[in-house]
Amino acid sequence: MSEREQTKEYLKQVIQLSIPAVLAQISSIIMQYIDAAMVGSLGAAATAAIGLVSSTTWLFGGLCVSAATGFSVQVAQLIGAENQKEARSVLRQAILCTLLFGLTASFVGICISSHLPVWLGGAEEIRGNASRYFLIYACALPAAQMRHTAGSALQCSGDMKVPSRLNIMMCGLDVIFNSFLIFPTRQVSMADIRITVPGAGMGVTGAALGTALAEAVTAVLMLYAVCFRSKRLRLFSRQGKKPAGEKFRFQSKCLRTALRLALPMAFEHTVMCGAHIAETRIVAPLGTVSVAANSLSVTAESLCYMPGSGIGTAATTLVGQSIGAGKPERAKRYANLAVMLGAAVMTCTGGLMFLGAPLMFSILTPDAAIRELGVRVLRIEAFAEPLFAVSIVTAGALRGAGDTLIPSMINLASMWGVRITAASLLAPRLGLVGVWIAMCGELCVRGLLFLVRLLRGKWLEKKIA
């Protein structure tokens, strides 16, 4: 096979693995749009209540992803080395360890839920809803952790379709549950026929409950898929029997490796979300309209970067399996192709976001003041999307090679050294626009730093064992 043909084949594999993950990410964002529109119809205060605690939910969610990644990268490399028995052993340990972590995170979240809105400087009018929303979110963390653990294991084994389909299903369930829980019983007209739609009328609390129920259903199905249906990883036959000769036991090597991979990511998420919380503190004094516009702008922007996140997931799998198979040059080519694909896709989505910002906000909120401010800041962010793609996809590729420490340090330096510093200086002068100018500049700096890390190639020297 010629060099050109081989490149085409590698790119084809990147695209094939990326498509299910990208579709799942996009469906998740569509769900967030629908959720935001549902809550947005309740008024600016309801939107601001969820926006106030969103940075903290990202922190807890990121920690759950970190815990899962510590094991899933090992699964990818063991699958690449064709050691499926050891990969199943890692999965068994992953399920128990991450479940314990999810329960611990849930307990911490429940304990701080009543104090969190006060710590974040939220206005009195939104504190009650914000606290209840976060409390319910915290109760659902064990389910979210199991969904991440089982889903990432399936993806790293090369199965992108099942977790993607289940995540898309979760989005649909969330919308259905929310439609019943957020709004009161109401009359809906369809083709001159009036139908009574039952509802609980729980508002912001209903939005949290709807998401929690969707998480729980999806977690059960994801665990069933990996434990009973996965060709490479299933721990039990359909009759509930274990594979012959395989027993559960903790292995110190596996746990040490998981910690070594997960701790830098957990540190990164803590630092990054700490920065997001600091950013929330910067935005909160600007008023309810700014808090709501900031929250909805983040939701709107996510439609652009989630395709990059899906391509990054594919890069983790392909790079991890290539490293496990002892083929670092193939891993490097997969990484480079994935980064170029991600940058191309997000350049296009960034352009669409710039042009479609007014339409996005017309869907998300009926409030004219929030719409006007949101469109302004969203168009600023569009210019950062190509380099933002580089950072997202490169991080996924490096993760597959077991390189988690240096990316964490890059994010730390970029987020705190550039974004928070610039935002704190610009917000008093330019308001929310200044905060988003700082964000745009920081994402460009971060993308350049990750590009340097990718091209230097030292990440290929990493060993997970």
Domain boundaries, the chain: 3-461
Query: How far does Cα 255 stand from its chain's mean position?
Result: 24
Which one-letter DSSP state was computed for residue 458?
G
Q: Per-residue confidence of the chain (465 residues) as pLDDT tens digits?
A: 677 788 888 888 888 878 777 776 666 666 666 666 777 777 778 878 887 888 788 789 888 988 998 898 899 889 988 899 899 999 999 999 999 999 999 999 999 999 999 988 888 888 999 999 999 999 999 999 999 999 999 988 888 889 989 988 998 898 899 889 998 888 777 667 788 888 888 988 998 999 999 999 999 999 999 999 998 899 886 655 666 556 778 888 999 999 988 888 888 778 777 787 788 788 888 888 888 888 888 878 877 888 888 898 889 889 988 988 888 999 999 999 999 999 999 999 999 999 999 988 888 788 889 999 999 999 999 999 999 999 999 999 998 888 888 888 998 899 999 999 999 999 998 999 999 999 999 999 999 999 999 999 888 876 665
> Is residue 214 within 8 Å of residue 180, measured between CB atoms?
no
Q: Which long-range contacts (CB under 8 A, 24 or more apart) does 179-186 make?
A: 179/38, 180/206, 180/210, 181/205, 181/206, 181/207, 181/209, 181/210, 182/38, 182/39, 182/42, 182/206, 182/207, 182/210, 183/38
Using DSSP's 3-state secondary structure scheme, residue 285 falls into helix
pLDDT of the residue at 279: 83
pLDDT of the residue at 239: 57
Q: How far apart are CA 32 and CA 297, in angstroms?
A: 12
Q: How far apart are CA 43 and CA 126, in angstroms?
A: 11
How many other C-beta atoms are found inside a 10 Å radius of the C-beta of residue 136? 21
Confidence (pTM): 0.77
Q: How far apart are CA 333 and CA 318, in angstroms?
A: 10
Beta-strand runs (E) in 122-200: 184-190, 193-200
Sign (positive or negative) of CA dihedral 385, 391, 392, 394: positive
- Token pair of 318, please? 């392909």
pLDDT of the residue at 102: 96
Cα→Cα distances 338→333, 454, 462, Å: 8, 12, 20
Using DSSP's 3-state secondary structure scheme, residue 175 falls into helix
Q: Which of 217, 84, 223 is nearest to 162 (CA)?
A: 223
Q: Which long-range contacts (CB under 8 A, 24 or more apart) does 367-372 make?
A: 367/40, 367/43, 367/44, 367/289, 367/292, 369/289, 370/44, 370/47, 370/289, 370/292, 370/293, 370/296
> Is residue 386 within 8 Å of residue 343, measured between CB atoms?
yes
